[in-house]
Amino acid sequence: MSLPLLGERVPEFTAKTTHGVVTFPKDYEGKWVVLFSHPGDFTPVCTTEFVAFQKRYDEFRKLNTELIGLSIDQVFAHMKWIEWIKEKLGVEIQFPVIADDRGTIAETYGMLHPGKGTNTVRSVFIIDPNGILRAMLYYPQELGRNMDEILRMVKGLQINDEYKVALPANWPNNELLGDEVIVPTASDCQTAATRLKEYDCYDWWFCHKKIDLNK
């Protein structure tokens, strides 16, 4: 099984969704995308995940980010399940869900892991406005995802693009730096010598700074 690689353009496909036919990633040019797979419709953990994603959908859209779900169920099953979620739980799922009933997309994206059964695992692909894969996550069927972490990753990647900085562990609540970001390490002696004067640093290779997160 091959997987899409970070930093490369994601594989293209055309598929049926609950919002009609989509050509991916062409239809999403200029937007960030969180493409995620779930093991199956009408299952408890997947239901909680869809509700959690929907509850944060406005936050994702504020970041110019769209959500797209996927499983190997047929589109009719997706439609009925979304209808059930609205009727029973009072939550309207507003993002599209891909019906990959032949499993071709799942195979291309490495969503099928034979050791975990025949359904798609809980994969997440964060794709930038140019169709480049920036991050991916895999969860087993028995563990639901943390949607706040996925939202944090999108924010962090966008900050990286804008400021050309790195983000520390648990950002924006890092144990050493709080919500500050890490300045790229100096690549020559002259820059290393001036870094200690320009930024707050633990050493020339570990400098950090504050940015305005409310821009």
User: Does residue 165 surpass a pLDDT of 80?
Assistant: yes
Of residues 11 and 212, more confidently modeled: 11
pLDDT category, 213, cuts 50, 70, 90?
A: confident
Of residues 119 and 2, more confidently modeled: 119
Averaged pLDDT score across all residues of the chain: 95
DSSP state of 52: H
Cα distance between residue 91 and residue 69, in whole Å: 16
Average pLDDT over residues 125-138: 97
Superfamily of the domain at 13-145: Glutaredoxin (3.40.30.10)
State residue 207's pLDDT score: 95
User: Does residue 67 surpass a pLDDT of 80?
Assistant: yes
Percent of the chain at pLDDT above 70? 99
Top CATH class of 164-215 equals alpha beta
What positions carry a catalytic annotation?
46
pLDDT category, 175, cuts 50, 70, 90?
A: very high
State residue 215's pLDDT score: 64
State residue 193's pLDDT score: 86
Cα distance between residue 151 and residue 135, in whole Å: 12
Distances in Å between the Cα of 72 and the Cα atoms of 11, 45, 68, 119, 215 are 17, 16, 14, 7, 40
Q: Which sign does the torsion angle of CA 163, 169, 170, 172 carry? A: negative
Provide the token pair at 45: 């953990």
Cα distance between residue 182 and residue 200, in whole Å: 10
Domain ranges of the chain: 13-145, 164-215
Of residues 132 and 193, more confidently modeled: 132
User: Does residue 117 surpass a pLDDT of 90?
Assistant: no
pTM tops 0.85, yes or no: yes
Percent of the chain at pLDDT above 90? 87
Average pLDDT over residues 43-47: 97
Q: Kindly give, in sequence order, each residue whose CB lies less than 8 Å from that of residue 59, ignoring residues fewer than 6 positions away.
A: 151
